[in-house]
Structure 1
Amino acid sequence: MKLRRLFSLQGLSLILSVCLAAGCIPLAASAGTPDASPVAVTASYTYHGDRLENVNDGIVSYDDSPKNRWTSYESPNATDWVQFDYGEPLSKNAAGVYVFDDGGGVKAPNAIDIQYWDGAAWSGVPHPVRTPEAPAGNDLNLITFESVVASKFRVVFSHSGSKSGATEIVFADSNSEPLPGAEASPLGIVSASYTFRLDQVSSVNDGIVSYNDSPSNRWTAYESPNASDWVQTNYGSPVRKDAVGIYIFADGGEYRRQTPTTSNT
């Protein structure tokens, strides 16, 4: 079942959070979802006791039950990378890196960077935002960035005194896919007819309401060419809803309060 909110634009609408039915709750963390697109995964180095394909199998395990991880243990390199090659250009604006840390030879790296192939060289993704700011072991490290269309993306690990590892890596486009860590959310998957390149449509469904830039957490249709735009929630199966709460932001300039309508398909 899909529910859609339509916005007639006199100015341009900005939505901070949309809650259907009982109320807003934060998205629950979950195991990673393997990349739905066909992808070839390679790495600069893989320890002989680990398996590179484990980073894209949907299983997050920080111990040996099951043992499911890639590591660069015993690598001679100061940095190592894991590359996702989709074979065709795709839009991505988020990477979830489930960092493995055994407290010994494999620990959280000093830095995690996301790069894409621009056709001639590897470039860093624009405006990356890291959560948490410093890499954390045995946890999801989420990096969001301005949308990039490319056929190849990679995660670069700058090692600490030990080497680095990951139990799962997920690249996503939050305009059409759930952010890593939100795959099992009962709040559904949101998409939109248009999303401004510096915003995230997934922000309307994360339980966070912020009317300023601390944090900047919103979907907007800024620069949209459309007279109206919509935000849609896909639950995957029929669900009963009888109310909708829309937290609308207006900054007095390009974003003005609108009167939305709701439909279901």
Structure 2
Amino acid sequence: MTRPVYRFAPSPNGLLHLGHALSALLNDAAARAARGKLLLRMEDIDTTRCTPAFEAAIRADLAWLGITFDGPVRRQSEHFDEYHEAVELLRNRGLVYRAWLTRGEIRKAVADHEASRGTPWPRDPDGAPLYPGDLTVLGQAEIDRREEEGAPFALRLDMARACAAAGISTRQPLTFTETDADGRETRVTCEPAAWGDVVIARKDVPTSYHLAVTLDDARQGVTHVLRGRDLFAATDVHRLLQVLLGLPEPVYRHHRLIPGPDGRKLSKSNGDTALCALREAGATPAEIRTMVGLG
């Protein structure tokens, strides 16, 4: 019987907080209970914000919590060639296109539409506006000019073509298996089209979170993905990429989030209390477990 493989995959662009502790502890408990493996991955495609110092701090926090990992650490920044190959496979099938609109131009196009028509622009499950398309905003002449000058661009998945290539239909929907804390399984129907034409790479970075995490899980042989509830909807995109790239489908479980004092989820970018600060203040690993509801 194949041993289950779990993974914990933080981004070393800041310090771990209680939400990360919950995820790491749940993965550790699940892997040990199943006599499986627990792998560590550093999701460091943002080579500007991610640093060795943050990685060292993360590993120190995990060791303090008593979590150990099997096998070497996988760092995404060391596998850009693999992501590029995957993007090329999709491009060769006509499923990827260059998108020239900047974030500011997208915001303006959406604002102009909403102001002139009085109707909201469609948004993805995370609340970001769906991509409006280059031709409708820039026109062909401006697109040609930007391409000739080598302007920055994003590589976006043509969602309509991708869903068709994956054979998705009302009769044959795309699904994934979601489990709960007691191991009960539910088959969930995916709606990747709700995300619009998602970014899968950029001119200067050959991948995005969606592409990298999907390929990483396959390369590391991950069989069980246990992560925060905030990534539940993103699974629709990951399942689509798995089908398009011929990758195996893991079993998923999306755990509860740890809210901050104002009710929002904890975030490194918002400066929520770091584990190392709690440790320095005298907290013990057992007290951290109690704080995240695992006491």
Q: TM-score range by the shorter chain?
A: under 0.3
The answer to which structure has the higher strand fraction is 1
| TM-score normalised by L of structure 1 | 0.24
Q: Which has the higher contact order (CA 8 A, sep 6+)?
A: 1
The answer to which structure has the higher helix fraction is 2
The structure with more radius of gyration: 2
